Structure 1
Amino acid sequence: MKRRASLSPLRALLAVATLGLLSACGTRPPSMTTPSGPPPAVRTCPPAQACPACPACPAAPAAAPPPAPAEPLQRIDWSELPGWREDDHAGAWPALRESCNAIAQQPRWQAMCEAARALGGTPPAASVRRFLEAHLEPWAVLNSDATRNGLITGYYEPLIKGSRTPSEHYPWPIHGIPHDMLTVDFGDLYPDLKNLRLRGRIVGNKVVPYWTRADIERMQDRAPAPTLLWAADPIDLFFLQVQGSGRVELPDGTKVRIGYADQNGHPYQSIGRWLVAQGELPIEKASMEGIKNWARANPQRLSELLNTNPSYVFFRELPARGGGPIGALGVPLTDERSVAVDPRTIPLGAPVYLSTTWPLSDRPLQRLMFAQDTGGAIKGAVRADFFWGFGPEAGVQAGRMRQQGQLWVLLPRSSRP
């Protein structure tokens, strides 16, 4: 449902490879600078086989090894989960059943999902808690520096105004996947790179980065992508792209659901952070509501604002049905019980216990969630995006949520991270 990886990981891999080759040749890349003061000593001894008469080169002093990163998961006891016994675990049961629809065939989850089906559709909260404690065990999620706190944000499924045809009132195209965009999934070639994708376009005999948001906006309906619908408001369309899915209300009142299809490969950049850096908004007002207010007060600078984020999301039209939008796990999200995570640490489909606070308050928000989505901005171990549901009220909560919190992933007793 949300944004995916960009071209930057590929560039990073190429940079690492280049640095390795340059270092092996005794050359310092021109982009690397050294601190002021005398230059560091350089080993100039040639290889022995190249100069048999040369004296042996003295061994270089061994560098101190870098500190090992902390293990991302640490086994704990149920009693260490804050507010665990007070949560209404029955409220998370529909999300558990949705997760099992996707992961029940995986060996580590098979036994738990079979037992969940046997328990029925609406077990009481106490039965759900006992079930979880019998089949699972909690693991604290840690950052690489062994700290436990991380950023918890929120997202939702918005409703915007739109039309099937362009007009003065509906001038902004909502694009599907471009015809000329090339997507290479590195995981198909190298399993270790399963989270990396390259998106670009072919110019002559070269692959170059795909068009940026500014390029696509400039082309409008001439862009090499189908136009699914036309939006009434560009800032509403921008935030629909940030959320990754939503509904479009047509002039006759019918609603069309659209979902994430792909992304142009450029990294997501926060327009709220840009407004703060420019001195246009104080940080406490850089919420979705505050950004929308600024945009409507400064229409002449709207393109400047939106194009600071080069990322662009393409959509697909989804069948009309009830329930939440489809997340990265492939199942409908459950209001206030689904969460987007970084799957490099937390496996998709897993139960996740969250301890944070309600938006703009110190009131505890501690509940059982399920990892059913991902996001381009959701990177790191202790990092999550809380799904609030559909509509304006959910949007208010999501737009205000930027809390600190902790995460625990619940894994089957028979498995290990």
Structure 2
Amino acid sequence: MRGWGAAMAICAALLPAPGAAAASRTLTPMNFGDLAGWAQDDHAAAFRTFAASCRAIRDGVPPSRAALPPTPALVRACEDALGLGTPDGDAARAFFERSFQPFLVGDGMLTGYYEPEIDGSRTPIGRFNTPLLARPDDLVTIPDGETLPGVPPGLGGARKAAGGGFEPYPDRAAIEDGALAGRGLELVYVEPVDAFFVHIQGSSRVRLPDGSALRLVFDGRNGRKFSGIGRLLVERGLMTKSGASMAAIRAWLAANPREGRALMRENASYIFFRIDDSLDEKDGPRGAENVPLTPRRSIAVDRGLWSYGLPFWLDSRFPDGETLRRLMIAQDTGSAILGAARADYFAGTGDAPGSVAGGMKQQTRFVVLLPRGDAAPER
């Protein structure tokens, strides 16, 4: 087990170079009394999720995708939190108010994601004809801000070229056409549209014909640019912006299988997975911080701007109009999650959370809780 200092060193070693956006971030100090709904939230639930991040920081668990490293003040807040055990709501609220100060980040966009539960087979049969692949051993992940000889800037994945140097890793279309065939990478076979949405979500529970299930978690990507097919459908006049929910997109793909396959291949990004046997049935999938996500308490943030483990107060609404005012913990990231006032809300596992996540595209007020020792925002 690694100590607190080792945890910070590991995170620093994995960290992408901070971008200009981080240096220009402007935050406005607030008081907890300014947060509408703060007193009514379930602070004990938020504390349990925060403590999971703190244990990862304390134990030096390497993130699967590096973010800004935890500051010394966040490390101290985590030490204090883990010394409290399992506080009740009042004690948890007192901890957050004692250890953090809220800062207004601004108004931005909140989307949602979830862990799909789908059917599949260990072997290709019938409609289960599309494999989810394990990470290839020749995939080289390029850290943010870096390049390799022979690879254009901006790509995050490569492999060694036959003549020396490197070359971009194959895109989605090439992989689907067999670029990695014959290497034994197939973990499980699922329906084509299910496979595509598992790539978007980054994890899945796959139910097998014998009643057992596999938990698949993110294990790398080919580094190609992500293109949202909802945006493409809107740009081409095939769907309205307000109507481009996940359910509507899936329905369009089912009704237009040939055009849908071509459209999905325009998203050059391709995700690789691994089977995670360490997760309990009650656990969410592992986020980029490498801890199981908590439904309705974990969010994905821009890893170039924020550290994992930071609490955020969200003031928003769900797609059905219900108020969403809740303390969330940054435990994940995503290629499309860019900007300070931008996050992805983890709704949970299965179809019902999927319906919530698929309809979320909410204007939201973002407030970050910075540890007291860090409460001096850059201007």
**Common fold by TM > 0.5:** yes
Q: Distance in 2 between matches of 1:198 and 1:243?
A: 19
Equivalenced residues, count: 338
- Which AA in structure 2 matches 1:370? I
- Residue 224 of structure 1 deviates from its aligned partner by 5.3
Q: Is the deviation greater in 177-186 or in 266-275?
A: 177-186
Partner of 1:331: 291
2:235 to 252, 258, 277: 277
Are 1:92 and 1:337, in contact at CA under 8 Å, matched by a contact in 2?
yes
Instruction: Look up the match of 1:405.
Output: 364
In the alignment, which of 317, 321, 343 is matched to residue 357 of structure 1? 317
TM-score (norm 1): 0.76
d(CA) in 1 for partners of 2:75 and 2:189? Answer: 44
Mapping for residues 5-404 of structure 1, pairs under 5 Å = 71-104=25-58, 107-121=72-86, 123-141=87-105, 148-185=106-143, 198-201=156-159, 202-219=161-178, 222=181, 226-231=185-190, 233-322=191-280, 323-361=283-321, 363-404=322-363
For residues 281 and 186 of structure 1, the distance between their equivalents in structure 2, rounded to whole angstroms, comes to 34
- For residue 156 of structure 1, report the CA deviation from its aligned partner: 0.4
**Alpha-carbon deviation of 1:225?**
6.5
Shift of 1:140: 1.6
- Measured at CA, do residues 378 and 200 of structure 1 come closer, stay the same or move farther in structure 2, by a change above 3 Å? same
C-alpha change, 1:83 and 1:300, in structure 2 (3 Å) is same
Against the structure 1 CA distance between its residues 402 and 372, is the aligned structure 2 distance closer, same or farther, given a 3 Å change threshold? same
Offset of residue 136 of structure 1: 1.1
Runs of 4+, deviation exceeding 4 Å: 186-189
Which amino acid in structure 2 is aligned with residue 298 of structure 1?
Answer: N
Distance 1:93 1:316 in 2: 29
TM superposition shift of 1:218: 1.3
Q: Structure 2 CA distance, aligned partners of 1:366 and 1:198?
A: 35
Change (3 A) 1:70 1:292: same
* CA RMSD, 1 decimal: 2.5
* Identical amino acids, percent of aligned pairs: 41
**CA–CA separation in structure 1 for the residues paired with 2:112 and 2:204:** 15
Counterpart-to-counterpart distance in 1, 2:155 and 2:241? 33
Against the structure 1 CA distance between its residues 260 and 327, is the aligned structure 2 distance closer, same or farther, given a 3 Å change threshold? same
Contact 1:338 1:386 in 2 (8 A): yes
Which residue type is aligned with residue 330 of structure 2?
A
Q: Distance in 2 between matches of 1:388 and 1:126?
A: 25
Q: State the 1:203 CA deviation.
A: 4.0
User: Structure 1 residues 220, 110: CA separation in 2 closer, same or farther (over 3 Å shift)?
Assistant: closer
Q: Which runs of 5+ in 2 are unaligned?
A: 1-15, 60-69, 148-153
Matches of 1:218 and 1:200, distance apart in 2: 18
- 1:138 Cα offset (Å): 1.0
Q: What is the alpha-carbon distance in structure 2 between the residues aligned to residue 70 and residue 117 of structure 1?
A: 33
CA distance 1:225–1:314, change in 2 (3 Å): farther
Mapped partners of 2:48, 2:243: distance in 1: 35
> Any gaps of 5 or more consecutive residues in structure 1?
1-8, 14-68, 142-147, 190-195
1:163 match: secondary structure: coil
Indicate the structure (1 or 2) with the bigger Cα radius of gyration. 1
Q: How far apart are 1:389 and its partner, in Å? A: 0.7
